[in-house]
Amino acid sequence: MIWRKSVSSTEKSNGENSNADKKILLQKDIGSVEDLLEEFDCQWKTYVKHSYIASQQSNYIKMIKDQADEHETIVVHMDFAENHTLLSQNEIMQAHWTNQQATLSTAHIKIAKEKHHSLIIISDYLAHDVEFVHTAESIISDYVQSIYPTVKQWNYVSDGAPQHLKNNKSILNLTYHQVDFGIPASWSFSATAHGKGAVDGIGAAVKYRATRRVLSGITYDAILTPEDL
């Protein structure tokens, strides 16, 4: 019997370390039915735990979004899209190696059951770090409080990316949220690999429209800087 399973590049495959760095590889295994059932037994506890966490987090996030109220607590879902490469339709060959990029930070703000806002912050600062997240929070705070001054609390939602969201610096900033922005906040993290949401659609829509405009071939439609984007 032949089956395949996903292994990380840090795990040993057939007694050897993979040369790939931080990648998920699809490994082919050959064995008997008993071997396959034993593999199920080894992974079952991990799967059950992950499934429980994912379902509980998903249900909780759905609940707080359903309860969002412009006079009480709103939900701010934040994420980073992959950096967008700024292209020109008729660029010369050398330009392929010197293309600029832009950071896209997306936010979906649930105000009430039928009321929400989509925001995207575009910057030439390419690092996805805690400093950028704090700046994005400031921009979002100014925008929301200018429209909904009666909001009493925020509940952030995001995936658990440790480099810019789920780390000690980000949590420290959260404890100072009321001092910095004049309103208390909490933060909910989705389970690993279950952080997809409206924010991903926001980034994809902006990238698609930008690419379509560039492909038009019209010179004045070229997007060469983050400001153009």
In order of 45, 135, 192, the CA distances from 132 in angstroms are: 37, 5, 22
**Residue 213 in tokens:** 């405009």
Query: For the segment 165-196, what is each residue's pLDDT rounded down to a tens digit?
Result: 889 999 999 999 999 999 999 999 887 777 78
Beta bridge partners of 112: 115
Q: Give pTM, 2 decimals.
A: 0.79
Residue 119 to residue 186: CA distance in whole angstroms: 20
Residue 22 to residue 142: CA distance in whole angstroms: 38
31 or 69, which is more confident: 69
One-letter amino acid of 87: L
Query: For the segment 37-66, what is each residue's pLDDT rounded down to a tens digit?
Result: 888 888 888 889 888 988 898 899 999 999
Selection from 163, 158, 192, 179 nearest residue 77 by Cα = 158
What is the SS3 assignment for 61?
A: helix
Query: For the segment 91-105, what is each residue's pLDDT rounded down to a tens digit?
Result: 666 666 777 889 999
Residues composing the chain: 229
Selection from 190, 180, 161, 178 nearest residue 60 by Cα = 190
Residue 36 to residue 31: CA distance in whole angstroms: 7
Q: How many CB atoms lie within 10 A of CB 157?
A: 24
Residue 27 to residue 109: CA distance in whole angstroms: 41
- 18 pLDDT band, cuts 50/70/90, is very low
Cα–chain center distance at 181? 23
Identify the residue whose tokens are 């080894």.
Answer: 42
pLDDT > 70 fraction of the chain, expressed in percent and rounded: 89
User: Exposed, middle or buried: residue 74 (CB in 10 Å: 0-12, 13-18, 19+)?
Assistant: buried
What is the SS3 assignment for 204?
A: helix
**Alpha-carbon torsion, ordered 170, 11, 47, 33, to 10 deg:** 170
One-letter amino acid of 211: T
Sketch out the chain's domains with CATH numbers. Answer: 1-30 (no CATH), 61-221 (3.30.420)
